[in-house]
Amino acid sequence: MLLSKSTRKLMKNGLKLCSYSLIGRVVLSKGEEPWKILALKEKLQSIWKLNSQWRLISLGRGFFQILLNSEEDKAQVWGIGSLHLKPGILRLQPWTQNFNPNTQRTTNAQIWVRFYDLPWEFWHPQILSDMARGVGIPLKFDRATLEGDYGHFARMLIDVDLSKPLPDSIMIEPPLDSVVGDIYSDATGWDIPASFKASHPVVASEIEKVVVSTDPDSLVWTYSLDGVVSCKSAYNSLSEVRSSVFWGKQIWASFIPPSRSVLIWRLFHGKIPTDIALRARGFISPSRCRFCCAAEEDLRHLFLDCPFVRGLWDAVSSTFGHKLKLDGTCLDLWQEAMRVVFSTQMQALWRVSIITVFWVVWFLRNQATFEDGKPVFADALSMIWRSVREADSLQSGTMKNSVAELQTLQRLHVSGRPPKAPRILEVNWRPPPPGCLKVNTDGAAFGSPGLAGCAGVFRTCRGFVRGCFAIPLGVCFAFEAELAAAIHAIDYAWTFGWHRLWLESDSTFVVNILRSRSRKVPWRWRPAWDRCLRLISQMDFAVTHIYREGNQVADSLASRSPSIVSPTWWWTAPSFCNSFIFNDFCCRPSFRFC
């Protein structure tokens, strides 16, 4: 049958109205009286509580079309799902075009289901109903199950959809509504229920590692180490992460004028307004190099290819004794130049000379453009060497003790600054007094932040090892690893009853905050640090600083701690640090050059 244009339009309107529809079916048990449509609609309205008008249309064979007015109403009804109406069960399914109730197949059945091995504490109607929903729709309980007289199994009548896979077991999670105060006390610490430990051993182990502070709860700003919000940390947390460039810190220095650093920044980003660049923006003007007058002015020709500029680069290269390649871009030239290894004094002058060449070229180009100046090669070289000598007076680097660098500095008319002779310090590990234990701690981080760990070694007054530990910390900063080493060392000493303790660390940060009892530590470590301060107030405690050369036992343990799987305690020293322990035992000195 062909439909007219107006009829097709009416069908489209009808399909649009049905787009918010659902199909429902009331399934009755044998002997139950069917619902009247008005009573059924009143019952459903009392459950769904829809604010807009809706219709319930009987389709036959227990099927109904639920015609709703909006997507929100449809989501609300669909979210409630199937209902136990007493009598019968209302099941919902999405509406489909050309739905025919006579062709629908029934895949549901009402089955008595048994639940075996059910603990007595779960024999409650609400708990049993929740379990039954994992299988289907609960209808009613067996009398013995409801009264709890038969503990072999629970038996319920459940409406099951046989078209879906049936579970053969149900996982029952123990209640997790406890608060910290229910399982923790200041006197005994964590008291986690045995049932929870048995079902979640890993989680229970992690909970027991958490140190609970006795201070009142407070808010912390997680984007900062100290937990205090600042304008800088707030801005960084809200702003987009921008990619950094490797040369960003190389062009900025106290001995380089900021205006020249800005010029290099613009140059490496291709933002210099040469004639070709202005033409691309719509400025119609002739283009000619101000130095050679033989080519158009673009970035490459102006700063690299022009014969006048190549003469400047050759002069700089010959002075410093390193040939620069000009066949790439300006950024390639800079990258190659920064690979050259000089002393700190020469490296600073090398950077200044390259930046000054770019600046002099642009300065003379602007003079020729706007003031009719004529570039002179000797004047350009004089400006470069004058800038190099000025920069040398503003930087504090030192030269190498080599003839090549001395000759280069003489060509630049710059006085060399030889390095100071190193000061040699003798570093010795000292044993603790009798009756006291000494612990040397150290932390290590392979990055900033990076994979980190901490370690410590306890020794007696005779230099014998009483115990040592190594603990992986995950990703953190090096100073956090040093702090964690001190915290764990004090905790171990308190646990083992070693209340006369001398802690020695090569971190001035740790030594200073232990001496001042300061609470200015990263917020993640504050509960553990507060507990640490309480413990040392009850101990005969001392803290000193030692250079790294005298802390080699703890350093060797800490360098391996990031790679171990879990916290490790040794009652005897591991073999890889025996040589360092023997040196300390024999009072052999180490030497520090500073």
- The 10s digit of each residue's pLDDT in 395-432 is 889 999 889 999 999 999 999 898 888 889 999 999 99
Q: Is residue 231 part of a domain?
A: no
Phi, psi of 99 (to 5 degrees): -70, 130
The count of domains in the chain is: 4
* Beta strand segments in 117-178, E: 137-141, 153-161
Helix (H) or strand (E) holding 443: strand 437-447
Q: Is residue 490 part of a domain?
A: yes
Helix (H) or strand (E) holding 559: helix 552-560
Q: What is the pLDDT of residues 62-74, one digit of tens each?
A: 788 888 888 888 8
Is the pLDDT score of 6 beyond 70? no
On whether the pTM is more than 0.85, the answer is no
Is the pLDDT score of 177 beyond 70? no
Same-domain pairing of 528 and 385: no
Q: What is the bridge-based pairing of β-strands 21-27 and 63-67?
A: antiparallel
Same-domain pairing of 494 and 583: yes
Is the pLDDT score of 3 beyond 50? no
Q: What is the pLDDT, as a whole number, of residue 79?
A: 65
Q: Which residue has the higher pLDDT, 578 or 158?
A: 578
Q: Please state which of the ranges 2-11, 108-117, 262-271 shows the lowest mean pLDDT.
A: 2-11
Q: What is the pLDDT of residues 440-490, one digit of tens each?
A: 999 999 998 899 999 999 999 999 999 999 999 999 999 999 999 999 999
Across residues 41-56, what is the average pLDDT?
A: 83
Q: What tokens were used for 404?
A: 């090549």
Q: Is residue 234 part of a domain?
A: no
Same-domain pairing of 21 and 59: yes
Q: What is the pLDDT, as a whole number, of residue 574?
A: 92
Q: What is the pLDDT, as a whole number, of residue 4?
A: 52
CA distance 500 to 542: 9
CA distance 148 to 119: 12
Residue type, 188: T
Q: Which residues contact 502 (CB under 8 A, 6 or more apart)?
A: 432, 436, 437, 438, 439, 541, 542, 543, 544
Is the pLDDT score of 377 beyond 50? yes
Q: What is the pLDDT, as a whole number, of residue 272?
A: 92
Q: Please state which of the ranges 20-34, 36-50, 251-265, 494-508 shows the lowest mean pLDDT.
A: 20-34
Phi, psi of 66 (to 5 degrees): -100, 105
Is the pLDDT score of 209 beyond 80? no
Q: From 51, 73, 101, give the residue that closes a domain.
A: 101
Helix (H) or strand (E) holding 500: strand 500-505
Is the pLDDT score of 174 beyond 60? no
Residue that has been written with the tokens 């107006």 in this structure: 6
Q: What is the pLDDT, as a whole number, of residue 307?
A: 94
Q: Is residue 226 part of a domain?
A: no
Same-domain pairing of 481 and 380: no
Q: What is the pLDDT, as a whole number, of residue 351?
A: 95
Q: Which residue has the higher pLDDT, 22 or 392?
A: 392
CA distance 436 to 500: 5
Same-domain pairing of 94 and 127: no
Q: What is the pLDDT, as a whole number, of residue 444?
A: 95
Q: What is the pLDDT, as a whole number, of residue 1?
A: 44
Same-domain pairing of 401 and 546: no
Q: Which residue has the higher pLDDT, 231 or 180?
A: 231
Q: From 83, 101, 119, give the residue that closes a domain.
A: 101
| Range picked from 130-139, 161-170, 283-292 for highest mean pLDDT | 283-292
Across residues 12-24, what is the average pLDDT?
A: 77
Is the pLDDT score of 129 beyond 70? yes
Is the pLDDT score of 242 beyond 80? no
Q: Is residue 175 part of a domain?
A: no
Q: Is residue 556 part of a domain?
A: yes
Q: What is the pLDDT of residues 544-555, one digit of tens each?
A: 999 999 999 999
Read off the CATH number of the domain in which 574 is found: 3.30.420.10
Name beta bridge partners: 113: 156
Q: What is the pLDDT, as a whole number, of residue 5?
A: 53
Is the pLDDT score of 44 beyond 50? yes
Q: Is residue 550 part of a domain?
A: yes
Nearest to 485 by CA among 463, 513, 453: 453
Same-domain pairing of 94 and 116: no
Same-domain pairing of 379 and 292: yes
Cβ burial, residue 417 (10 Å; 0-12/13-18/19+): middle
Same-domain pairing of 138 and 94: no
Is the pLDDT score of 8 beyond 90? no
Give the Cα-Cα-Cα angle 565, 567, 568 (nearest 5 degrees): 100
Same-domain pairing of 295 and 400: yes
Q: What is the pLDDT of residues 564-573, one digit of tens each?
A: 988 999 999 9
Average confidence score pLDDT of the chain: 86
Across residues 15-21, what is the average pLDDT?
A: 78
Is the pLDDT score of 256 beyond 90? yes
Same-domain pairing of 150 and 276: no
Q: What is the pLDDT, as a whole number, of residue 172?
A: 66
Rounded-to-10 torsion of CA 84, 87, 88, 92: -50
Q: Please state which of the ranges 104-118, 260-274, 461-475, 522-536 shows the lowest mean pLDDT.
A: 104-118
Across residues 319-343, what is the average pLDDT?
A: 92
Q: Is residue 301 part of a domain?
A: yes
CA distance 443 to 222: 23
Sign, Cα dihedral of 312, 315, 317, 320: negative
Same-domain pairing of 401 and 314: yes
Q: What is the pLDDT, as a whole number, of residue 452?
A: 95
User: In terms of residue numbers, what domain contains 479?
Assistant: 426-593
Percent over 70 (pLDDT), the chain: 95
Q: From 411, 437, 460, give the residue that closes a domain.
A: 411
Name the band, by pLDDT with cuts 50, 70 and 90, for residue 108.
low
Q: What is the pLDDT, as a whole number, of residue 2?
A: 44
Q: Please state which of the ranges 22-36, 341-355, 362-376, 485-499 shows the lowest mean pLDDT.
A: 22-36
Residue 366 Cα distances to 209, 362, 371, 373, 375, angstroms? 67, 6, 8, 9, 10
Percent over 90 (pLDDT), the chain: 46
Q: What is the pLDDT, as a whole number, of residue 7?
A: 67
